[in-house]
Structure 1
Amino acid sequence: MEQSIIVTVDVVLFTLAGDQLQIVLLKREREPYAQQWALPGGYIHADEDRDAQAAAARVLRDKTGLISPYLEQLFTFSGGVRDPRGWSVSISYYALVHESLLVADEAHRFSLWPVDALPDLPFDHQRVVSYAVQRLRDKSSYSSLPCHLLPPLFTLTELQHTYERLLGQPLDKSVFRRKLPELDFLEAVPDAIRLGKHRPAQLYRLRPDKRLAIFDRAM
């Protein structure tokens, strides 16, 4: 008898919290691996999902209540040993949100974990997370991707800090500020100023037509 192939989607949802890159994990409700922390995931619904990306967005919304401003396909993991239920395919995605959306989880559907201090994960979710972390850090060096970890309005200092957290190294402030106009993925928000201890800071946002801007050279 021919075995049915299990087809699922899994999502690595990133945020910056406590100055650390963290991901969302949920406790599995059913076997296999019941009560173990795992990535948000689920079956593709052929009668409901337009494609795998729609399935990933639905799973993320159903499991966490969140809609990410950025969702990108990562990799397809497959094989006969990754799932004890049988031969399986997981189309994996990664997503980014600002931490304010996560701390408001009053239903306790999920928990945040630093990517450098994860528990033992079921299936091959540890491998999925490793792929996602590497993709995020690599792509952050030549794109506007880190903006999706910020709130809708942010200062240039906050933007630089986010790039530094993802790239794992400090960036020269003057060089960073000189690059931004030529990269042209931000727009100043008229009359939007944040008051602080020092001089007022202009607030910026990602340009609507630059959801993902690719740079000619690394940041």
Structure 2
Amino acid sequence: MRLEFASPIATVDVVLLTLAGGVLSVALFRRDKPPFEGSLALPGGFVHVEEDEDLVAAARRVLRDKAGLAAPYLEQLATFGGRNRDERGWSISVAYIALVPGIDPAPGREVIAVDDLPHLPFDHSRIVEAAVARVRNKASYSSLPAFLLGDAFTLDELQETYERVLGHALDRGSFRRQVEFQGFAEPIPGALRHPPGRGRPAQLYRLAGKRLKEFGRRMLA
């Protein structure tokens, strides 16, 4: 006997994280249609069954269409679902974390510190909270914060980025020893950053392999 089941709404939502004003921040977009029209929310959208090869493809499409960018780092966070999360019906959303070196405010888009968020529609506040907890935890044992930097950075900039994500200062000598030991940042031959004035130029580095490296144990807490 064939059973008929109602199909739930299937969407992806992306927590787009960056550094703005020296703090970890999230990009929010003003919704242009109901429900919650006019409210700031995470960029998201329905899964396009004829277009999206998989959920990662759906998340990348949402980022491209809603934010106009491709994130150098994209990670599946968790699945959120329930009868009451969306007034249009039983809804499932697969949430992703994206990290980008920078994103500017624009019409219909705001970049807000993760610790100063207003209440968000659906369960987006809970999704952001889970994403921030994941990123801060992984920052203590992986190269994850480096994806918030551009293609070239100094070791001082790298340490500053870790400190902004973790929320506390790190010992300069210990941090540099760990970076050297883990080998996830490599010097760019002949590339220096010259500070204004008469300061000493600093060696520029890049993320080795351009992929996440986990250290195996907590190093930077």
Q: TM-score range by the shorter chain?
A: over 0.9
Residue equivalent to 1:217 = 217
Identity %: 54
**TM-score w.r.t. length of structure 2:** 0.93
Check conservation: 2:15, 2:42, Cα contact below 8 A: yes
In the alignment, which residue of structure 2 is the partner of 1:6? 9
Cα distance in 1, alignment partners of residues 101 and 177 from structure 2: 26
Cα distance per residue 1:140-161 (max 9 Å; x no partner)? 1100000100011000000000
Give RMSD over aligned pairs: 1.3
Distance 1:21 1:215 in 2: 22
CA contact (8 A) 1:194 1:202 kept: yes
Q: Distance in 1 between the 2:140 and 2:108 partners?
A: 32
Match of 1:40 in 2: 43
Deviation at 1:171, TM superposition (A): 0.6
Q: CA shift at 1:110, angstroms? A: 1.6
Equivalent residue for 1:51? 54
Shift of 1:109: 4.3
- Residue of structure 1 in register with 2:200 after alignment: 199
- Gaps (5+ residues) in structure 2? none
Query: Which residue of structure 1 aligns with residue 20 of structure 2?
Result: 17
Q: How far apart are residue 178 of structure 1 and its match?
A: 1.1
Q: Secondary structure at the match of 2:158?
A: helix
Give structure 1 stretches of 5+ with no counterpart: none
Contact residue 63 and residue 109 of structure 1 kept, 8 A: no
Structure 1 segment 132-147 matched on structure 2, within 5 A: 132-147=131-146
- Shift in Å, 1:3: 3.6
Taking the aligned partners of 2:6 and 2:217, their CA distance within structure 1 comes to 48
* Contact 2:23–2:165 (CA under 8 A) maintained in structure 1: no
Looking at structure 2, the residues matched to 15 and 8 of structure 1 have their Cα atoms a distance apart, in angstroms, of: 23
Q: TM-score, normalised by structure 1?
A: 0.94
